[in-house]
Amino acid sequence: MTPETFIIAKASEAIQALYGVEISPALLQVQVTRKEFEGDYTLVVFPLLKTSKTTPENTGNAIGEWLKANVAEIDGYNTVKGFLNISFSTVYWNGMFAEIAAAEDFGQLPPTGKTIMVEYSSPNTNKPLHLGHIRNNLLGWSVAKLLEVNGHNVMKVNLVNDRGIHICKSMYAWKVLGNGETPQSSGKKGDHLVGDYYVAFNNLYKKEVDGLVAGGMSEDEAKKNAPSLKAAQEMLFKWEQGDPEIVELWKTMNGWVYDGFAKTYEDLGISFDRTYYESQTYLFGKSLVQKGLQDGIFGKEADGSVWCDLTADGLDRKLLLRGDGTSVYMTQDLGTAEQRFKEYSLDEHIYVVGNEQNYHFQVLKLILGKLGFDWADSIYHLSYGMVELPEGKMKSREGTVVDADDLISAMYNTARETSLELGKIDNLSAQEQDALFRMISLGALKYFILKVDPKKTMLFDPKESIDFNGNTGPFIQYTYARIRSVLRKAAESGFAIGSYSDVVPGEKEIALVQRLADFPAVVAEAGRTYSPALIANYVYDLVKEYNQFYHDCPILREEDSAVRSLRLAISEATAHTVRTAMGLLGINVPERM
């Protein structure tokens, strides 16, 4: 039972005894006491005044006095305006720590029976993954883990955007400029090679537009009539018609990209339960559009294009099929959503997509609702902010992105240099050092990105992320390694964890146990809000608390065996919680560092 749950239960008993009323638990709000006040947890009194029919101070004092007199686990209180600050006794903290120490799955919440799908990554097969994709992948993977630990059945899925005009742009550029180049002949990773041709297409396209404008055509007309764009559009049309030559080229270039993606996902420690491909799902969407057209939900223009009029909903008209019959992103998203809800009976579907697509998902839910799907409101867009660099925003088509593979490699090199400078790894073999550098570099990258609230735009600074001090992954990893070192030395000295039930914990022990006790509530809140940042900042606060405890409380030098046992047990529980919390962020922690 969490401290909050315990106080709610006992406060309910107090109110029943004092006022003869069985109160709804929803009216009992409990929070950690602010640092400037005395107490461990605070009960908000204001919602109880209708029941008590007296002042906030009188209400708080009456409940506090009853709790102190009748609950052994509570030994003090004070009321500040409408807030009852409650102090737990040693009895409570000993009992709480006994629960924590005994629970191998501490932080795991009970099963809910709900099935939730989380879609993340969703790359285009015309370019390699970049820093923005890294935030998407890390956020999606971590949110899925959070939902699992909150007791839900979770499906992690990827939708690869493997068709469309952007793919045809890379294909066209390769066809006219590639001279048969392959990943093998060039020595380039497949996704990088295809991405180079996407950039090459845009360079060619710009030259053509400039030439048409110089010849007297307006810029808008030039952009529509550039030969390269028309050729790419023709490729898309032929692809949808099943042209053998175009389909074969499409399969070949996408195959290069998939091999590249697989390596990046492996390096990041990212996985999926299932991968969908837009080329296999867009036809479901097209059939839904035809049904909506027949039912009068959509309308067709003279050029053959199909639209959904959302002006009555305060939006505009949305294109669903182009005049030539080719589909758009919305088309396949409609069909994919129907397919998934039908196949898995989902309770919720979470799309992890950047905030530039807010409008898209607003429209998706509206259209699905108009088509009569009662699960449309079960769709949730986890909208996250962009990742920016000190030099500004990234632009894929101009080739000014931070490539994911390059970043992972650079982070490894920085972790290696920093670790060697600190000189703490001389006793490790070359293989162990390599594994440690990879663990530190990925921990730095993942933690720096996930500690930021998903909704916020963030500035990524690789050097700051790998600092061994401050709110960083390496700092937390180092503290974990320190705890494991203490536990190893204790075992080597023959200091087993014996009985400590009679020990009266001191201020530092209680502060650390209180922080540990908060973990299940943080897990629940992080799962409810889809925010790994809550876990990241919790574990940072936890290791700070442990380092203070480590500094102030002797462990191996403590002569009282019972006190030493308590401190070793607290150290072990802290290490377990750090490992669990970091695992929810996809971060491994080292035994030695």
Q: Indicate the SS3 state at residue 323.
A: coil
pLDDT at 394 over 70: no
> How confident is residue 469, by pLDDT bands cut at 50, 70 and 90?
confident
Instruction: Please give the domain boundaries of the chain with CATH numbers for all domains.
Output: 3-88 (3.30.1360.70), 120-398 (3.40.50.620), 404-584 (1.10.730.10)
pLDDT at 398 over 70: no
pLDDT at 395 over 70: no
Q: What percent of the chain shows pLDDT beyond 70?
A: 98
pLDDT at 392: 52
Q: What is the mean pLDDT of residues 293-317?
A: 94
Q: What is the DSSP secondary structure assignment for residue 386, as one 8-state letter?
A: P
Q: What pTM did the predictor assign? A: 0.88
pLDDT at 66: 97
Sheet with strand 274-277: strands edge to edge: 274-277, 153-160, 115-119, 348-354, 379-384
Q: Which residues contact 203 (CB under 8 A, 6 or more apart)?
A: none
Q: Is 423 left (phi over 0), alpha (psi -120 to 50) or beta?
A: left
Q: What is the mean pLDDT of residues 103-111?
A: 91
Task: State pLDDT tens for residues 227-269.
Answer: 999 999 999 999 989 999 999 999 999 999 999 999 999 999 9
Burial class (CB in 10 A: 0-12, 13-18, 19+), 340: buried
Q: What percent of the chain shows pLDDT beyond 90?
A: 79
pLDDT at 383: 96
Of the candidates 361, 147, 113, 453, which has an alpha carbon nearest to the alpha carbon of residue 273?
147
Tokens of 167: 């793919």
Burial class (CB in 10 A: 0-12, 13-18, 19+), 482: middle
pLDDT at 282: 82
CA–CA distance, 152 with 211 (Å, rounded to integer): 57
Task: State pLDDT tens for residues 91-106.
Answer: 898 889 999 998 889 9
pLDDT at 562: 93
pLDDT at 400: 53
Q: Indicate the SS3 state at residue 127.
A: coil
pLDDT at 4 over 50: yes
241: how many CB neighbours lie within 10 A of its CB? Answer: 11
Of the candidates 38, 29, 145, 126, which has an alpha carbon nearest to the alpha carbon of residue 536?
145
CA–CA distance, 59 with 135 (Å, rounded to integer): 48
pLDDT at 397: 44
What's the helix, strand, coil split of the chain in %, to 5?
60, 10, 30
pLDDT at 163: 85
CA angle (587 as vertex; 581, 593 as ends), nearest 5: 100
Write the DSSP assignment of 530-583 as a string of letters: T-HHHHHHHHHHHHHHHHHHHHHS-STT---HHHHHHHHHHHHHHHHHHHHHHH
| Amino acid, single-letter form, for residue 163 | R
pLDDT at 223: 95
Give me the chain's average pLDDT, please.
92
pLDDT at 2: 82
Task: State pLDDT tens for residues 324-373.
Answer: 888 888 998 999 999 999 999 999 999 999 999 999 999 999 999 999 99
pLDDT at 396 over 70: no
pLDDT at 56 over 60: yes
Q: Which residue has the higher pLDDT, 390 or 154?
A: 154
pLDDT at 371: 95
Task: State pLDDT tens for residues 487-532.
Answer: 999 999 999 898 888 888 888 999 999 999 999 999 999 999 999 9
pLDDT at 111: 96
